[in-house]
Chain A
């Protein structure tokens, strides 16, 4: 997920902008965005691991996975905790976007090259990307967020809204029954399971491939953990954004020191754990459905 919508603010005075060997990197994700990604990552993994025993209750591994959380009761408690944390993170993000757009008066959040909102450009670039797949044309000049990244972003927003709403109904059926008929709990449980299957498999297969496992990124893209991308990589991968920033001179304001080995090591640890757990859960799902 790439939840931040605006360009990151200019680096502080502590990171002076000078064209030295150290200034080969460009900031892509500011710290709050990176923290948000880690919160979403941890809560998503937690929700998947604590929900899957029930979703796949007939799988041979279901009981063992539940016992990791001290049984069904413990898994249920953890599931609610992770659910609240993810809901909180998404609500915080929406409030942040609202604040930036309407209080701070930031422009370009809802339209333009920095926006997460799907725009005609995305459909054109999707078509161009398909042509590139078949060597019929050059790779499109992507902007800050490519079409598959926008899809990820909206999938998380849409998914969290749906999972949050259905999850709360299932958590508080008695309160919900004051306004909702009981048969809606059946729908809520079905939607919670179906949307979970969609989200889990999408993240652990498609997002992992697009973001990390595809050639050129394999085994992991560190940008979401270190925050910065090399100038060369940006120029190659997001020619649209690079050329726009270079032309306006904004690129120099985004220059940051390259990540230290410590930053990279920490990113590899956190990302590696997340990636491994996700792939492990994905294998469990494959086993449960294909056996």
Chain B
């Protein structure tokens, strides 16, 4: 009995599926193989009506990370097409495999620009950064999204920002081959890139700076600036407000925003009327560093004796008092 019901269910489910499959793909049409595609697309002179090349370098494709895949795995609409196919193909949907990354991209400012703001040709999609047939893993030094190549890739659109970045100490470190040198994606992320002018985003960058400059961020957190921003309010300075964002330079460089000669100007952006005495404020104090500020060091010492001393003294005093009072109580009751 149970077996019969199972068979019935299987039949009910399978029949429409089989019927659909039969209608969609007649058994005599096989999907084109990569060789079929290359037969035409190997021709370097193959062009679209608008002049864009339609040539595919099969060797390059095979050495790419998608090398083992067939053309129709991505160009899925061709899997049922007869050759030669229609000139207009459906766009490749990377997210059909990379669905988690696709979701992040759809939340990004780039997707917003493309889909909502109508920058259909200017705003980047997957291929704009990763390329098309020559995609390499981001760990591959020749990849367009390898750390060393990221400034150039982003800079192909954000040319003005790249110009600033190239002037900064981080670009210099990257050029020397320091793999820890920050590139665009470290602060802006890779796929879910957000507007850089929101408070939430601005405040999130401090943690990124701290991933290398941990001690510097610790000292920043001791200040009014650091505490207010830690609470999530962006009215006061975070890293980039004083150090710059893309063209960060060490204080020893005269062009740096935090060079001694430029402090009055830099602090004065918020603190209108800042003078030479005002800028002797230390935005990164360390009470344990005697050389940095002896007075702060002594203040720290003083309270480290006073606070524990005071509480130890009155703590013991209270405990003894409590004990004695309880004894009295027992006596009376």
Contacts and interface: CB of A to CB of B under 8 A. Distances in A.
Interface in B252-285: 271-275, 277-282, 285
B278 A66 contact: no
Closest 7 CB pairs of A and B: A182-B281, A182-B280, A177-B278, A215-B325, A194-B303, A57-B227, A133-B320
Contacts of B327: 135
B233 interface: yes
Given A187-B299, A194-B307, A214-B318, A170 B231 contact: no
Nearest to A56: B227
A198 interface: yes
A216 interface: yes
Nearest to B302: A194
B299 A63 contact: no
Interface string B225-240: 0111011110100000
A133 B314 contact: no
B231 A187 contact: no
A177 B280 CA distance: 9
Contacts of B328: 215
Majority secondary structure of chain B interface residues (helix, strand, loop or mixed): helix
Given A186-B281, A205-B315, A215-B328, 17 more contacts: A53-B231, A54-B224, A57-B231, A72-B228, A133-B321, A174-B274, A177-B274, A177-B278, A178-B275, A182-B278, A187-B299, A190-B285, A201-B307, A202-B314, A206-B314, A214-B322, A216-B325
Interface residues of A, number: 46
Contact of B282 (A57, A58, A72, A183): A183
Contacts of A183: 280-282, 293, 295-296
A184 B281 CA distance: 7
Interface string B287-304: 100000101100110010
B277 A197 contact: no
A75 B258 CA distance: 31
Given A53-B231, A194-B299, A174 B321 contact: no
A195 B230 CA distance: 22
A18 interface: no
A112 interface: no
